Amino acid sequence: MQEVTEIYNARVAAAFAIRQGDILVSIHCGSRGLGHQIGTEFLKRMVMVAADYGIVLPDRELACAPINSPVGRAYLGAMRAAINCALANRQVITHLVRQVFAEVLPQARLPLLYDVSHNTCKVEEHVVDGKRRRLFVHRKGATRAFGPGHPDLPPALRAVGQPVLIGGTMGTASYILAGTEEGMSLSFGSACHGAGRSMSRHQALKQWKGREVVDDLARRGILIRSPSLRGVAEEAPGAYKDVSAVADVADQSKLAHKVARLEPLICIKG
């Protein structure tokens, strides 16, 4: 749960139905389960068949295959199944959150701003060298950020661009931005989806204890609820880059424009 503490673009914020002082609920699901498993398994399969298609891999992490090959089609099918699973999972979580609010704060309204997946591959049309082409756009550590007027956006958002959600840590701000026309040509309508880690989970466990993180955030008025203190230590705020600097770069580079800043109040980890 986060409070809107600053509005940068009043017109777009109004279109998003966001006002300063609002309390918002942000839901983020990672891919350490199904998505990670699919990536790991197809990485191995693509490494094994790369030579069959004349592909030389400078690094096995760059393993790939022609999109219409058997392994390429199988990967697309598995990835799309994972996206469907993620969408359904967030719908279930959203429903449960609304049920809780209905019991505790029945006057609260929780309309959905936007639901978007990251770490995916989507078939899209973009202009390349002056020509419109059908592309498979892979976004890793990134999210779609279509600009104003894009036909794939819902009518209510089409005039201002797609919401871009840059999540912070348990102890830092998050940001809501909007896609731009410039970003369509600069990055195929893409922006970052978070600050990104500055150290691995393993390193974070060496540097922080979960209880210390919980107590430190409590002193700042931020409540943490988690079944695992190890998970809290892995996600310690200090293990991530400066999310405000990341949001500023996205804004200044015109990949997405800042709309609102959110400050954390309560964080519940699954």
Give 184-212 pLDDT, tens digit per residue: 999 999 999 888 889 999 999 999 999 99
Q: How far apart, in Å, are the Cα atoms of 212 and each of 218, 226, 237, 258?
A: 10, 13, 12, 32
Residue 197 and residue 237 in contact, taking contact as beta carbons nearer than 8 Å: no
pLDDT of residue 180: 97
By DSSP bridging, strand 256-264 and strand 174-179 are antiparallel
Q: Both tokens of residue 1?
A: 């749960």
**From edge to edge, which strands make up the β-sheet containing 174-179?**
23-24, 2-7, 256-264, 174-179, 163-166
pLDDT of residue 196: 85
Give 81-122 pLDDT, tens digit per residue: 998 998 999 999 999 999 999 999 999 989 999 998 888 889
Q: Looking at the whole model, is its pTM more than 0.95?
A: no
In 3D space, the residue among 78, 88, 7 whose CA is nearest the CA of residue 257 turns out to be 7
Residue in the structure block whose two tokens are 């949001």? 247
pLDDT of residue 34: 87
Per the residue annotation, which of 118, 150, 193, 257 is the catalytic one? 193
Ranges of the chain whose pLDDT falls below 50: none
pLDDT of residue 194: 86
- Is 193 known to be catalytic? yes
